[in-house]
Amino acid sequence: MANRSSAVAGSFRDPSGRVYDDGGRILRSVTASAAADFEFVRSSGFYDALVAQQRAIGAQVVDEDGSFALETEFDPAERHMAALHCILEHPRLPIISYPYEWCFPALKAAALHHLRIHREALERGVTLSDASAYNIQFLGAKPIFIDTLSFRAYREGEFWHGHRQFCEQFLNPLLLRAYLGIPHNAWYRGTLEGIASQDILKLLPWTKKFGWNILTQLVLPSRFDESARKGKVAVDAKVLENSGFPRTAYLNLLKRLESWIAGLTPRGQKPTIWQNYSQVNSYAEPEVSAKRAFIKTFIEAEKPGMVWDLGCNTGDYSELALSCGADYVVGWDFDQGALEAAFDRAQSKDLAFTPLFLDATNPSPDQGWAQAERGGMGKRDRPDACLALAFIHHLAIARNIPLPEIIDWLLAVAPCGVVEFVPKEDQTVQIMLQIREDIFAGYDFDSFITCLESRAAIVKIEKVGDRHLVWFKK
């Protein structure tokens, strides 16, 4: 037998089946207890239609009876594996990301994607068993639903079991930015199940709480939950189920949420510090052309499949890398305005480019159950190349990270790349030094090159204006 397949840590929560990484193949078990719902959805044709529209992940049955004819050994300690219905295989996605790494328009797109799929499912006699934001991933800027086993047969009269989860993982993080102007990323990362309605209600002005949407989606459900926790209300799921919730009411609830969320925009949105950087940087037009030519030569020579653009800003060079032959680009940046502009670029141009939130000095860690449920930045599939353009001075000058440690980090990210060194004399760095003491005696180009040469091979160096572009390989 081949090596034992590795269960994807975050899939343990689903009793219907687990996800496995079998040497690069992504497999999903379907337990006998989930067989009836799986076959109902399968026979309805609804899921296949979503796959054909690239709105849900492909799911090919590769083992019809769960006998594990595949040359693969699954962990026998998994109790639910004793009664399997079948095995599915999914295509491997270019990148796995999490809601706390998404910008506002990405989270909004994911929420609307979930609601639209759920509404269409109900019209076909299918529903979703939960409303987890982690069931959505992105191909470029297009959301795609990845939890095949969340779909099950709709039972006439049932209420929306995932309503609170949808509010906590989609709606409330969006409201944090739309009503209060606060990005959701840090809070969401600290509370992986999302933002509780009771918490966000404490922050909202009292005038907002009387709005119909807030009152019906957050205030009244929160009061009911609080009463239930205090034992003032007896909550019996069967009683609620038998009371009947007409399908038309269910659909109207989803439609109201969809309409509300579609109209949400970030509060007081103004251009951020780096959002217009590509238009106002210190490069003259000939220097911009030279920089683009250097990146073009690098991409065409290295032929990377996956590129990480560190400090991607609005995605100018991410798009350039794609036009020069890269298959996929993941952009990372900490500036919300720049990320939102990058997401808009990827969406409007249908690029294979996914922009994600990153503070490089505090990247997403391994967290969740056993510190493994949600993988950190270092646990993602590694790129073939990286771009670090106008990036490292933010670490060295703004965050006091020593140059040797920055270089070690870059070399751990990808086996080759282009890094742009911005000297102290540059206008951008001078602005940064206006608000702090210059304690960076070791920050200069010669020191940078000496450090890089001791760790990697330098393929090419080109001076562009007062900056240097350096092409390196491990």
Write out pLDDT tens, residues 257-274. 999 999 999 998 766 665
Answer yes or no: is pLDDT of 71 > 50.
no
Count up the domains in the chain and report the number.
3
Decide: 249 and 163 in contact? Cβ < 8 Å.
no
Same domain (yes/no): 295, 437: yes
Q: Is 88 exposed, middle or buried (0-12, 13-18, 19+ CB in 10 A)?
A: buried
The answer as to whether 130 is a domain residue is no
Nearest to 246 by CA among 163, 118, 155, 126: 155
Answer yes or no: is pLDDT of 5 > 80.
no
Pick the range with the lowest mean pLDDT from 30-34, 325-329, 453-457: 30-34
Answer yes or no: is pLDDT of 332 > 60.
yes
Distance between CA atoms of residues 123 and 140, nearest Å = 29
CATH number at residue 447: 3.40.50.150
Q: Which of the pair, 84 or 457, is modelled with greater confidence?
A: 457
Q: Is beta strand 306-310 parallel, antiparallel or unpaired with respect to 385-388?
A: parallel
pLDDT tens, 271-319?
A: 666 556 555 555 788 899 999 999 999 999 999 999 999 999 999 999 9
How much is the pTM? Answer: 0.92
- Tell me the CA distances in angstroms from 314 to 135, 143, 332, 337, one per residue in order: 26, 19, 10, 8
The answer as to whether 298 is a domain residue is yes
Same domain (yes/no): 359, 226: no
Same domain (yes/no): 168, 42: no
Same domain (yes/no): 4, 145: no
- Tell me the CA distances in angstroms from 246 to 157, 231, 241, 468, one per residue in order: 5, 28, 11, 65
Of 92, 119, 154, the last residue of a domain is 92
Q: Residue 76 — very low, low, confident or very high, per pLDDT cuts 50/70/90?
A: low
Phi and psi (nearest 5°) for 303? 50, 55
For 394, the token pair is 């933010």
The answer as to whether 230 is a domain residue is yes
Distance between CA atoms of residues 8 and 174, nearest Å = 28
The answer as to whether 258 is a domain residue is yes
For residue 66, the Cα-to-chain-centroid distance in whole angstroms is 32
> Which residue is associated with the tokens 């989270």?
107
Q: Is 42 exposed, middle or buried (0-12, 13-18, 19+ CB in 10 A)?
A: middle
The answer as to whether 128 is a domain residue is no
Report pLDDT for 186.
97
Same domain (yes/no): 305, 233: no
Same domain (yes/no): 401, 283: yes
Decide: 135 and 55 in contact? Cβ < 8 Å.
no
Same domain (yes/no): 341, 382: yes
**SS3 label, residue 236:** coil
Same domain (yes/no): 297, 371: yes
The answer as to whether 120 is a domain residue is no
Residue 318 belongs to domain spanning = 277-473
Report pLDDT for 277.
58
State which H helix or E strand residue 319 sits in. Answer: helix 316-323
Of 35, 63, 92, the last residue of a domain is 92
For 93, the token pair is 């996605």
Distance between CA atoms of residues 388 and 335, nearest Å = 15
Distance between CA atoms of residues 184 and 195, nearest Å = 9
The answer as to whether 8 is a domain residue is yes
Same domain (yes/no): 301, 405: yes
For 4, the token pair is 């034992």
For 359, the token pair is 């503070």
Report pLDDT for 224.
84
Q: Is 241 exposed, middle or buried (0-12, 13-18, 19+ CB in 10 A)?
A: middle
Report pLDDT for 279.
55
Decide: 358 and 386 in contact? Cβ < 8 Å.
no
Of 262, 291, 325, the last residue of a domain is 262
- Mean of per-residue pLDDT scores for the chain: 91
Distance between CA atoms of residues 145 and 134, nearest Å = 9
- In order, the DSSP letters of 350-409 are T-SEEEEE--TTSPPPSBSGGGTSB--GGGSPPPSEEEETT-HHHHHTTS---HHHHHHH
Same domain (yes/no): 253, 283: no
Same domain (yes/no): 464, 316: yes
For 90, the token pair is 């999914």
Long-range contacts at 280-289 (CB < 8 A, ≥ 24 apart): 281/390, 281/428, 282/426, 282/427, 282/428, 282/465, 282/466, 283/464, 283/465, 284/465, 287/464, 287/465
Residues in contact with 231: Cβ distance below 8 Å, sequence separation at least 6, in sequence order? none
Residues in contact with 80: Cβ distance below 8 Å, sequence separation at least 6, in sequence order? 15, 17, 18, 29, 31
Q: How many CB atoms lie within 10 A of CB 434?
A: 7
Report pLDDT for 69.
42
Answer yes or no: is pLDDT of 2 > 50.
no
Report pLDDT for 79.
46
Decide: 445 and 436 in contact? Cβ < 8 Å.
no
**SS3 label, residue 330:** strand
Same domain (yes/no): 158, 81: no
The answer as to whether 100 is a domain residue is no
Q: Residue 238 — very low, low, confident or very high, per pLDDT cuts 50/70/90?
A: low
pLDDT tens, 19-59?
A: 999 888 999 999 999 999 999 999 999 999 999 999 999 99
